[in-house]
Chains A and B, each alone.
Chain A
Amino acid sequence: MQLRRQPLSAPRPGDTRPAAQRLAVPLLLLLALQGAAASGEPEDSGWLQDAEPSSRLLSQAARAALHFFNFRAASPSALQVLASVLDGRAWVNQKKEYKFDLVFTTEFYRAEEGEKRLGTCSAQVFFRNDKPRPAVNVTCTQLIKKERRQEEDYQLYKLMKQLKSPLNAVRIPDSHGYIAPSLRPIWNLAFLGSSYVMWQKTTPFLHYFMSQISSVKQWKTNDDAIDFDYTVLLHEFSTQEIIPCRIHLVWYPGKPLKVKYHCQERQTPEEGSGTEEGSAVALTELSNF
């Protein structure tokens, strides 16, 4: 990912780097000055602990961990979203690698109000050279028993099998935030696929939310698996951009999720992102698929 490197100086007008990067530069200076405040880490790795990590940074890292968790669990009926960060520590080193140690609570990703069960996760998240696709180590308390989760996944799968191929012109949710009950399984599965993409794209400075499914290219259920090809609009928070991503996934209850994706490059040329990387990954995955 191409980033502008600038000497530590006062912000110049018109600097177009994402805002979070701009704050990170003085942060690094602060960390360098703190020096001996580093706790418990071996000297040679050069990790400096951030004495006061911003809640935004910790939330971003927690979300990345949760995206990875949701992807790996491959369970559209048991998707979890971040509730709050209980405890978080952050380190950075000279190589611009970021490390996070987090404890956070989660909620079920459900339509119904009042379903307020909270889970807890602990995670270590590692970004190399502020690049995307962090390495994640995450464990979460079981919000729902495995058997029940499998059963609900299977029920969802049965519903999906009954769905006729929809909805080429329909957005989910619609402009008013409405999702027809029959389309809910599609939304959940789309979120599962998007979790993979959002994990892949998250950096210490860029983080994503799923806004809308803008189109469904294909919804096939021949053989056993659900074959789902759609375009989702991701909202990137620090630049406020809407990124369309074409995602193609194959899902069967209990099996790992197979995903490939390609996200459209953002319009602004200065803020060149890592889509070369992304599409290269997508290309290799296409051939393997």
Chain B
Amino acid sequence: MKPLLGTFYLLGMLVPGWLGYDRSLTQQRQEVVGKVVSPWRILETYPYNRYHPMGEIYQWMSEIREKYTEVVTQHFLGMTYESRPMYYLKISQPSNNPKKIIWMDCGIHAREWIAPAFCQWFVKEILQNYKDNSRIRRLLKNLDFYVLPVLNIDGYIYTWTTDRLWRKSRSSHNNGTCFGTDLNRNFDASWCSIGASHNCESLTFCGTGPMSEPETKAVSSFIESKKENIACFLTMHSYGQLILVPYGYTTNKSNNHEELIQVGQKAANALKAKHGTNYRVGSSADILYATSGSSRDWARDIGIPFSYTFELRDNGTYGFVLPETQIQATCEETMEAVLSVLDDVYEKYWYTNSAIKAKSTALVLSLLMSVMSLL
């Protein structure tokens, strides 16, 4: 029965409009508000190369948690402005090893649909491969992954029901005459000093104060509580094909700037090797524009050493409305970049046993040689 369903589903994917993938507005409205219209029956056939409304993402999280109970737990972060629950997935291989945390969030800006698609892809890749793939298995020995597939849930839903190009949250201001805070200007990092607006009408409205928004509060209080153990903070956006390091609020550089650039450049090279896509690496102020109150800058300033913003495909041809036909390639190449960063983070904290042995051997040999030269 199941293979048959799988075949039907694959056929369904070829026929646009079949199996509920007709993208009419009413259909979407049904999908998003918790009532789930999910054509896939088993997780194996979940289409990672399509965009999914929030209802489906919530359901996907439950199914992932149920299927991979040995390594996945689902956790509550907080409520959005419109009272929706924010959940993150924790992927952790139970062990006595000391662990460092890798944080990844997607969809802080509602219209950047490729970002939540990548978060889902990332989770799928880790879970489908952690048993067989030595690279991922190694990472999971000492790293825990915390993934927030959609940070700005209210905004994301709004892009499905009303305005595809909405960016901000859906908080209400000025007596209900103006909506939305740019959540990536709302963090407490030189808040609203540059590249942001005090005017609610603006798309870079920084909010009524640093961390004024419930979504920002939920994320920041959690990160703050775990910051000693967080090695890497990744926040996924689109578009522009960039890997950004701190800062946006100043052209000054973080004290580990060289290292961040080096790791970032290596990741960009790994990304390019996959499908030839060019990414540029640099500080936000240098290669993008000045911004204040970003989550990346805030994370770096509270002490998280590796803090990156990824701006995914493309370069402006489709921009936010990236075709679904590009999801797979984008996710594959981005996966290479993220794994490259994670490898470097891993190397930094845990030398492999062979590396330690090699170093010790080299040390002993050099001591011996210096002693012998004295004889």
- State whether B167 touches A174 (Cβ < 8 A): no
Chain B residues with CB under 8 Å of A240's CB are 167, 182, 203-204
B interface: dominant SS: loop
Q: How far is the CA of A54 from the CA of B286 in the complex (A)?
A: 7
- State whether B289 touches A171 (Cβ < 8 A): no
- State whether B318 touches A22 (Cβ < 8 A): no
Residue among B192, B202, B251 making CB contact with A13, cutoff 8 Å: B192
Residue among A14, A20, A211, A269 making CB contact with B289, cutoff 8 Å: A20
A-B CB contacts (within 8 Å), total count: 111
Q: How far is the CB of A138 from chain B (nearest CB, A)?
A: 18
- State whether B315 touches A212 (Cβ < 8 A): no
Q: How far is the CB of B259 from chain A (nearest CB, A)?
A: 21
Q: How far is the CA of A242 from the CA of B322 in the complex (A)?
A: 16
Residue of B nearest to A172 (CB): B321
B160 is an interface residue with CB less than 8 A from chain A:
yes
0/1 string, A250-277, CB within 8 A of B gives 1: 0000000000000000011111000000
A151 is an interface residue with CB less than 8 A from chain B:
no
- State whether B199 touches A270 (Cβ < 8 A): yes
- State whether B197 touches A55 (Cβ < 8 A): no
Chain B residues with CB under 8 Å of A109's CB are 317
Residue among B192, B280, B286, B290 making CB contact with A22, cutoff 8 Å: B290
- State whether B199 touches A241 (Cβ < 8 A): no
0/1 string, A1-38, CB within 8 A of B gives 1: 00000000001011110011011000000000000000
Q: How far is the CA of A237 from the CA of B287 in the complex (A)?
A: 13
Q: How far is the CB of A200 from chain B (nearest CB, A)?
A: 17
Chain A residues with CB under 8 Å of B321's CB are 173, 175-177, 211-212
0/1 string, B282-307, CB within 8 A of A gives 1: 10011111110000000000000000
Q: How far is the CA of A175 from the CA of B319 in the complex (A)?
A: 12
Within 8 A of A (CB), among B252-310: 276, 278, 280, 282, 285-291
20 pairs of residues in contact across A and B, judged by CB atoms under 8 Å: A11-B194, A13-B193, A16-B199, A19-B194, A19-B289, A22-B290, A23-B251, A55-B280, A63-B316, A81-B316, A81-B317, A82-B316, A177-B323, A178-B323, A209-B319, A212-B164, A240-B182, A242-B203, A269-B201, A270-B199
8 closest Cβ contacts across the A-B interface? A177-B323, A19-B195, A209-B316, A267-B201, A240-B203, A19-B290, A14-B198, A19-B289
